[in-house]
């Protein structure tokens, strides 16, 4: 009997040990997205999900605060979440955060959707960034976005009707309303509370049911790498626009001052960074062409006398090109260049070309005022009678001189017409 009891206790202890061992080893990966949805954030989310999957984490929590972003990047993120081999929890946090536009699609795609108190979700209606789209294009864009969000909501068994209204009517709701309408699953104050609330919840991993065991899991915070942070900065259209203009300035300085080296090197680096940034953004090439044409017109103003017409044309092209630079074809995107960046940049560019470079070229064309060439055209006085050779005083200096008009008496006013070494050729301009 004692042997049976001992064997039973040993068996229970082993079962407890093996059940507790995995729990002690459970981890939850947590990342934060506090930016627009762009290629950098998409790549960061993808790599983080892969990292958590390789580490066999219990789940990954994406702490989200975004005003929206690029449609292409949104689709990449949604696809990655839907195909993930570990549960993905989307947590709209901290208090005051939002999940708008593209963020709505990402939140609804999560295996678990959660929000913190004081947050909101919604406003996913398609918008154009350059004025109003025609009714047919807007209808097509809206229908496509509605179908996209319906498919996500149906897969995650969430409120399909509200999701479609968020697209068609741009509805936005608070975390309490979202929980009541079954748009999200949980409202939690912080990540620790969230992990306790979702512990024991069943999630569907592409046909396989998995029970979350997150109550005692350790949290692993994953930060953006330097590469992702740099890409995130470069994905800002304002940064790309500024780099583009700086690159043009640098090349112009180098072309007008050959051998300066530094402006040319800085200009090339800025242009490379600008083109890399523009590669990640939906660029309207008509806008890019207008910017280039505008700069060419400003350059021509320096060479051609147009009484300001070329400058006006260049400024208009530069302004229109800056407004049109980000394409409106991708309808979910809110990203555009800020007016607070466009107006000062255009004004500074016009002033730069009209005044800075213009004055530099005029200075190069100005008659020399120093050296032998600088004395041509200066008025002097005959120091000794020219027969036709003698001496003259010009600008306080005494020169050997030759007269073109024969003999000139002392005191006669002369003008220098030519310089030959240390001898000047002069002609009479009037009595002393």
Give the residue numbers annotated as catalytic, written as ranges. Answer: 101, 140
Residues 26, 58: Cα–Cα separation, whole Å: 6
Residues 146, 154: Cα–Cα separation, whole Å: 12
Output phi, psi for 216, to 5 deg. Answer: -110, 15
DSSP one-letter string for 109-155? HSSEEEE-TT-EEE------SSSPPPHHHHHHHHHHHHHHHHHHHHH
Residues 336, 281: Cα–Cα separation, whole Å: 10
For residue 221, the surrounding DSSP H or E stretch is strand 218-221
Q: Beta 413-420 vs 397-403: how paired, if at all?
A: unpaired
DSSP state for residue 206 in the 8-state scheme: T
The CB density around residue 118, as the number of other CB atoms within 10 Å, is: 13
Judge whether 330 and 72 are in contact, CB under 8 Å: yes
The CB density around residue 18, as the number of other CB atoms within 10 Å, is: 9
Residues 323, 328: Cα–Cα separation, whole Å: 11
DSSP one-letter string for 8-61? HHHHHHHHHHHHHHHHHH-EEEEEEE-S-B-HHHHHHHHHHHHHHHHTT-SEEE
List, in order, residues 6 or more apart from 298 with CB less than 8 Å away. Answer: 310, 311, 314, 315, 318, 349, 350, 353, 354
């Amino acid at each position: 009997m004692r042997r049976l009891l001992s064997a039973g206790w040993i068996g229970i202890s082993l079962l407890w040990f093996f059940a507790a061992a995995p729990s002690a080893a459970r981890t939850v990966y947590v990342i934060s997205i506090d930016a627009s949805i762009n290629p950098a954030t998409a790549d960061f989310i993808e790599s983080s999900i892969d990292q958590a999957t390789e580490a066999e984490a219990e789940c990954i929590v994406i702490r989200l605060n975004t005003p929206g972003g690029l449609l292409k990047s949104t689709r990449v993120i949604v696809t990655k979440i839907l195909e993930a081999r570990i549960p993905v929890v989307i947590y709209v946090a901290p208090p005051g955060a939002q999940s708008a536009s593209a963020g709505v699609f990402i939140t609804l795609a999560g295996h678990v959707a959660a929000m913190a108190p004081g947050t909101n979700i919604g406003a996913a209606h398609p918008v154009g960034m350059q004025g109003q789209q025609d009714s047919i294009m807007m209808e097509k864009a809206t229908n496509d976005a509605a179908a996209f969000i319906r498919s996500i909501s149906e897969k995650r068994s969430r409120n399909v009707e509200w999701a479609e209204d968020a697209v068609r009517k741009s509805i936005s709701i608070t975390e309490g309303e979202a929980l009541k309408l079954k748009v999200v699953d949980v409202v939690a104050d912080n990540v620790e509370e969230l992990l306790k609330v979702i512990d024991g919840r069943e999630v569907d991993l592409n046909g396989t049911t998995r029970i979350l065991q997150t109550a005692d899991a350790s949290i692993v915070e994953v930060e953006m790498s330097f590469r992702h942070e740099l890409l995130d900065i470069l994905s800002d259209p304002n940064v790309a626009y500024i780099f583009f203009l700086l690159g043009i300035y640098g090349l112009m300085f180098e072309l007008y001052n050959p051998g300066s080296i530094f402006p040319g090197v800085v200009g090339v680096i800025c242009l490379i960074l600008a083109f890399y940034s523009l590669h990640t953004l939906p660029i309207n090439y008509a806008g890019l062409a207008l910017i280039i044409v505008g700069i060419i017109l400003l350059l021509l103003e320096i060479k051609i006398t147009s009484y300001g017409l070329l400058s006006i044309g260049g400024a208009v092209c530069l302004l229109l090109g800056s407004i049109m630079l980000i394409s409106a074809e991708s309808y979910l995107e809110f990203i555009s260049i800020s007016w607070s960046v466009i107006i000062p940049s255009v004004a500074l560019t016009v002033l730069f070309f009209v005044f800075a470079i213009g004055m530099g070229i005029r200075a190069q064309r100005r008659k020399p005022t120093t050296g032998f060439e600088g004395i041509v055209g200066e008025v002097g006085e005959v120091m000794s009678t020219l027969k036709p050779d003698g001496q003259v005083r010009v600008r306080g200096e005494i020169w050997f001189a030759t007269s073109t008009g024969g003999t000139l008496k002392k005191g006669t006013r002369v003008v220098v017409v030519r310089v030959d070494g240390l001898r000047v050729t002069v002609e009479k301009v009037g009595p002393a």
